[in-house]
A and B are shown apart, each in its own frame.
Chain A
Amino acid sequence: MEKWSLMTIIVLLGLTVRWLVSFGSYSGAGKPPMYGDYEAQRHWQEITYNLPIKQWYFNTSDNNLQYWGLDYPPLTAYHSLLCAYVAKLINPNWIALHASRGYESQPHKLFMRATVLVADLLVYIPAVIVYCYYLKETSTKKKISSAICILLYPGLILIDYGHFQYNSVSLGFALWGVLLLSYDWDLLGSLAFCLAINYKQMELYHSLPFFCFLLGKCFQKGFTGKGLVLLIKLAFTVVASFAVCWLPFCTEVEQILQVLRRLFPIDRGLFEDKVANIWCTLSILVKIKDVLSPQIQLKLSFAITFLSLLPTCIKLTLQPSLRGFKFALASCALSFFLFSFQVHEKSILLVSLPVCLIINEVPFMSTWFLLVSTFSLLPLLLKDGLLLAYIVTTLGFITVCVTSFSMFEKTSEDDLQLKSLSLSIRGYMPSFKAFPEIIKSLFLVSVTLMGILTLMSATLNPPQRLPDIFPVSVSVVSCLHFLFFLMYFNAVILWDSRNGRSQKKTS
């Protein structure tokens, strides 16, 4: 069969699954007074449509910031405004100021779900298709397999179409950025990435690899000649695109400062709810939030994040390569997720995106990571009543990955990209066992553990003394996995060049 018809089928399948997941419940459905993210997005439409732009981010009598105040960058606000215009055409009650608070109805749900689908269809899905279609040095089969796995990744589908958010827009722009950079259209790529940051500030997790990769490219071209020109052009593109996005807020300094305060709410604490990161896990043993002052928490998390990022970033700057760039995106985003300040459980999607991009290179590890990342969202999804969708999409994802990549046969050291690491370990420790066996058995243990925990959280009532036992154990287990994956990504990145050299030697 031809490649384009296969791609069409995959896109249609992805769209069908997305739409079917959207039949389920959403966050905060029928739960006054605060509802959930669905109400937040609707409320933003109400605010942006009815209030002048100057009041969007300010607490006024018409805009109570305590009730889902706008805390995303301007592009999100513009997107809400656009949706609000459409909503106004269909039913003005959906966005009436004050009166529409907590509005819920079947037609409205349909409308909101449709806006997600449209955004996804315009930004994320084309990016995935183009990315997979033009993957370099890859067989058609692998391109098709990557496309279907990326489009059926359950985490993103469940959060966007179940829980309700527009992650596909920011992730899609970031993906366009990666795509354009890989074809050396650096200016367009950085423009796309600026759009991503201006849609959701969490995209900053990806900013360091972008920065280092582009900087490395400039260095490669020679820092005095072409490289400098490129650097200046890039700087200009970034500044210009930011300026355009923020134009309506550039009238006063106070406006910009207020938006920034809304975007980075430092006083919200080190972490919220049960996040699968290191701080939440440690706080089972030590109540960090009580022991350390907020200022020290901030500094500590910043320092550790920075340290964990450093090796990858240096390596990427010195030896910029496309492959290294993708791995660095995954590893840096994961460092941010694990160590940085004020992380949401949904931010794991920012790690999942780059991991999706390397699924054709390390299918086994990527699939494993993507499964764990979906699993880490389980407490949230249970709260939203999305258990069925979670189980079905996860099983479907496993089926697709196993059949299209024959995953279990891809666990040799070469397939895991760990050959050079294990060679160097054997240099010190000749009795070192091969990686594949260890990793395979770890995978089995991990999948069993995740399955059991899913079953227990879904069916059992927690003991009265420990009401949070299941969410906490889910996040601890996921956190341990993520630490392991962080080590793995770093190992692959740091031992990369030796591998390349040795391959060149053998060839």
Chain B
Amino acid sequence: MAAADGGRGGCWFPALALGVSLLKCLLIPSYHSTDFEVHRNWLAITHNLPVSQWYYEATSEWTLDYPPFFAWFEYALSHVAKYFDQEMLVIQNLNYSSPATVFFQRLSVIFTDILFVYAVHECCRCVNGKQAGKDILEKPMFVLAVLLLWNFGLLIIDHIHFQYNGFLFGLMLLSVARIFQKRHLEGAFLFAVLLHFKHIYIYVAPAYGVYLLRSYCFTANMADGSLKWSSFSFLRITLLGLIICLVSALSLGPFAVLGQLPQVISRLFPFKRGLCHAYWAPNFWALYNAVDKTLAFAGLKYKFLDPEKIPKASMTGGLVQEFQHTVLPSVTPLATLICTFISILPSVFCLWFKPQGPRGFLRCLILCSLSSFMFGWHVHEKAILLAILPLSLLSVESPKYAGIYLILTTTGHFSLFPLLFTPPEIPVKILLMLLFTVYCFSSLRALFRKAGPLLNWLETIYLIHLVPLEIFCEIVFPLTAWKLKFPFIPLLLTSVYCALGIIYAWLKLYISVLTEFYPPLKVFV
């Protein structure tokens, strides 16, 4: 019997990974967004043109706007792609999606996810298994593996909507795991590589920078835990610097030589886009916009405002565009940058003055990504995964974080719903969401059975109300007369309602991290 259990203990991870990969294969024929065409176009560009023209090509409106490593990745893929269908590699074949093309692109996402699977495997090894139950289903490692591998957001964004987040998050989780394993240089290297694949990860760079400087470059602490200046290691900081410079040189070097750096940068950071994406990501600015809209509406109704002075731009019209607020002051990119910076500051401060090992680093990383999500310029709703996935690691270790995780995942994943709007995919998103959410709730509750309820009544009520909201948006609203007059209402409701939950989770996480920083009561009592 023991042998059987041992055998089973060994094979659950491959089974979970294989299971989810098969599920991904079933998603191959489903709907894909314009991101599919984006990546097809990049395949064609990198395959046909010399490096010098990669960032200048503009036949398609979906120009290359990821850093060079990603372009090289597409270049490598294109050499496999030619065996599936030559036509997808023709730049002029806009919106080309033959069955072979779809099959190849989908399979490429599924196969590159192997890196993600490996990273999850490494993360599972870093988890404290102290309160492990007898049942395999109630081991933190198992729960973590499911939470990461079967993550709803990742499934629908990568395998329905179409993107390559899987292996990128794989790189990030792997680098986090390496830092947990005290292999700091490897961690730093992986993160540098990741940054040159997709620059959105720069949101969490402060956490890496401060942690590596504080806990790696300074080799010792004073007795009270404060910084010991004399322990600074020049060797270590040189190594770190060398790694980062080498990776950057490898990535940006060729373009610097060609004198194309300004062009590359302008492609990577398109500030011409608006404050919010077409569909508002559920962050602070969504609330800001909503307040502005309400004030404008009320102002018009009660004659505070002059209708002629109001700009006629509708934010949720579907186009990415610059937008003028009517009542509240308009927000500039610089303002969002300052807000983001201020909101990140306390967590970084905390990491510097009281480093609590890799777990402190992970908390700071999550806070960085959440804060940037809150206040960033032109944030996509997909960026919430940057907080959800790392938070999974903390959630299986303590009931406090499990509670926050439940709120954040449920709202964050719900806010991804508008990504999929085609009728056949609606059941898929609802079923997968339920599948993942039911699993989250029941597994985490089983894990922390002794710790009492994970959510308080207010949080429970908030989360339960997502159900009527979804019913209203998907079923009731299309039947009402408002559908034509105010088509944006479901999106607006979803993003405002989810913004409340995500801001709440963010504040709660911040407060719990800061109270760990100053544990005042326990010291005196």
Residues in chain A within 8 A of chain B (CB atoms): 1-2, 5-6, 8-9, 12-13, 15-17, 19-21, 23-24, 106-107, 110, 117, 388-389, 392-393, 395-396, 399-400, 402-403, 406, 409
List of 9 A-B pairs having minimum Cβ-Cβ separation, nearest first:
A5-B442, A20-B26, A403-B15, A12-B435, A396-B22, A16-B431, A1-B446, A23-B29, A392-B25
Are A399 and B23 within 8 A (Cβ)? Answer: no
* Contact A399 B4, CB 8 Å, known A1-B138, A17-B26, A20-B428: no
Are B138 and A399 within 8 A (Cβ)? Answer: no
Q: A155 → chain B, closest Cβ, in Å?
A: 16
Are B19 and A400 within 8 A (Cβ)? Answer: yes
Q: A164 → chain B, closest Cβ, in Å?
A: 15
Q: B239 → chain A, closest Cβ, in Å?
A: 43
* Contact A12 B438, CB 8 Å, known A1-B446, A406-B7: yes
Complex formed: what's the CA distance from A396 to B24 in Å?
11
| B424 CB–A CB distance under 8 Å | yes
| B-side contacts of A23, CB under 8 Å | 26, 29-30, 424
Are B434 and A399 within 8 A (Cβ)? Answer: no
- In this complex, what residue of A is CB-closest to B18? A399
Interface residues of B in 392-447 (CB under 8 A from A): 423-424, 427-428, 431-432, 434-435, 438-439, 441-443, 446
Q: B160 → chain A, closest Cβ, in Å?
A: 10
Are A395 and B26 within 8 A (Cβ)? Answer: no
Complex formed: what's the CA distance from A6 to B435 in Å?
10
Are B11 and A403 within 8 A (Cβ)? Answer: yes
Known contacts A110-B423, A399-B18, A403-B15; 4 additional CB pairs below 8 A are: A1-B443, A13-B435, A19-B427, A392-B25
Are B28 and A388 within 8 A (Cβ)? Answer: yes
Interface residues of B in 123-140 (CB under 8 A from A): 135, 137-138
Are B8 and A406 within 8 A (Cβ)? Answer: yes
| B-side contacts of A107, CB under 8 Å | 423
| A-side contacts of B22, CB under 8 Å | 392-393, 395-396, 399
* Contact A409 B4, CB 8 Å, known A16-B428, A110-B424: yes
| A-side contacts of B18, CB under 8 Å | 395, 399
Main secondary structure of the interface of B (DSSP, over half): helix
Most chain B CB within 10 A, of A2, A23, A388, A409, is at A23
| B383 CB–A CB distance under 8 Å | no
Complex formed: what's the CA distance from A17 to B7 in Å?
27
* Contact A1 B438, CB 8 Å, known A110-B423, A400-B19, A409-B4: no
Are A2 and B423 within 8 A (Cβ)? Answer: no
- In this complex, what residue of B is CB-closest to A1? B446
Are B12 and A403 within 8 A (Cβ)? Answer: yes
* Contact A12 B431, CB 8 Å, known A20-B27, A110-B423: yes
Are A403 and B8 within 8 A (Cβ)? Answer: yes
Are B25 and A19 within 8 A (Cβ)? Answer: no
| B-side contacts of A396, CB under 8 Å | 19, 22-23
Number of residues from B at the complex interface, CB < 8 A: 33
| B-side contacts of A6, CB under 8 Å | 137, 442
Chain B, residues 55-80, CB within 8 Å of chain A (1/0): the string is: 00000000000000000000000000
Are B12 and A17 within 8 A (Cβ)? Answer: no
Q: A408 → chain B, closest Cβ, in Å?
A: 9
Most chain A CB within 10 A, of B18, B431, B441, B446, is at B431
Q: B136 → chain A, closest Cβ, in Å?
A: 10
Complex formed: what's the CA distance from A421 to B411 in Å?
59
* Contact A388 B4, CB 8 Å, known A1-B443, A2-B446: no
Most chain A CB within 10 A, of B23, B424, B432, B443, is at B424
Q: B170 → chain A, closest Cβ, in Å?
A: 21
* Contact A406 B424, CB 8 Å, known A5-B438, A395-B18, A399-B18: no
| B-side contacts of A24, CB under 8 Å | 29
- In this complex, what residue of B is CB-closest to A389? B26
Q: B101 → chain A, closest Cβ, in Å?
A: 15
The residue from B12, B431, B439, B442 contacting A19, defined by CB atoms under 8 A apart: B431
Complex formed: what's the CA distance from A388 to B100 in Å?
13
Complex formed: what's the CA distance from A389 to B27 in Å?
10
Q: A183 → chain B, closest Cβ, in Å?
A: 28
| A-side contacts of B424, CB under 8 Å | 23, 106, 110
The residue from B7, B8, B435 contacting A9, defined by CB atoms under 8 A apart: B435
Chain B, residues 19-41, CB within 8 Å of chain A (1/0): the string is: 10011011111100000000000
Q: B175 → chain A, closest Cβ, in Å?
A: 30
* Contact A19 B438, CB 8 Å, known A396-B22, A406-B4: no
Complex formed: what's the CA distance from A106 to B29 in Å?
14
| A-side contacts of B28, CB under 8 Å | 388
Complex formed: what's the CA distance from A24 to B99 in Å?
13
| B-side contacts of A15, CB under 8 Å | 431
Most chain B CB within 10 A, of A12, A13, A106, A117, is at A12
25 contacts between A and B (CB under 8 A): A5-B438, A6-B442, A8-B438, A12-B435, A15-B431, A17-B23, A19-B428, A19-B431, A20-B23, A20-B26, A21-B26, A23-B26, A24-B29, A117-B427, A388-B25, A389-B26, A392-B22, A393-B26, A395-B18, A395-B22, A399-B22, A400-B19, A402-B11, A403-B11, A406-B4
The residue from B15, B434, B441, B443 contacting A12, defined by CB atoms under 8 A apart: B434
Complex formed: what's the CA distance from A403 to B5 in Å?
11
Q: A59 → chain B, closest Cβ, in Å?
A: 37
| B-side contacts of A406, CB under 8 Å | 4, 7-8
Complex formed: what's the CA distance from A24 to B135 in Å?
38
Q: B38 → chain A, closest Cβ, in Å?
A: 23
Q: A227 → chain B, closest Cβ, in Å?
A: 44
- In this complex, what residue of B is CB-closest to A2? B442
| A-side contacts of B431, CB under 8 Å | 12, 15-16, 19
- In this complex, what residue of A is CB-closest to B3? A409
Q: A337 → chain B, closest Cβ, in Å?
A: 29
Are A9 and B439 within 8 A (Cβ)? Answer: yes
| B-side contacts of A12, CB under 8 Å | 431, 434-435, 438
Complex formed: what's the CA distance from A396 to B27 in Å?
14
Complex formed: what's the CA distance from A24 to B28 in Å?
10
Are A1 and B137 within 8 A (Cβ)? Answer: yes
Complex formed: what's the CA distance from A312 to B359 in Å?
65
| A-side contacts of B23, CB under 8 Å | 16-17, 20, 396
Complex formed: what's the CA distance from A8 to B443 in Å?
13
Q: A139 → chain B, closest Cβ, in Å?
A: 11
- In this complex, what residue of A is CB-closest to B423? A110
| A-side contacts of B435, CB under 8 Å | 9, 12-13, 16
Complex formed: what's the CA distance from A507 to B4 in Å?
25
Complex formed: what's the CA distance from A392 to B4 in Å?
27
- In this complex, what residue of B is CB-closest to A8? B438
| A-side contacts of B443, CB under 8 Å | 1
Q: A507 → chain B, closest Cβ, in Å?
A: 20
| A-side contacts of B428, CB under 8 Å | 16, 19-20
Q: A204 → chain B, closest Cβ, in Å?
A: 34
Complex formed: what's the CA distance from A406 to B441 in Å?
27
Complex formed: what's the CA distance from A5 to B443 in Å?
9
Q: A393 → chain B, closest Cβ, in Å?
A: 8
Are B15 and A20 within 8 A (Cβ)? Answer: no
Complex formed: what's the CA distance from A311 to B18 in Å?
43
Complex formed: what's the CA distance from A467 to B29 in Å?
30
Complex formed: what's the CA distance from A110 to B427 in Å?
11
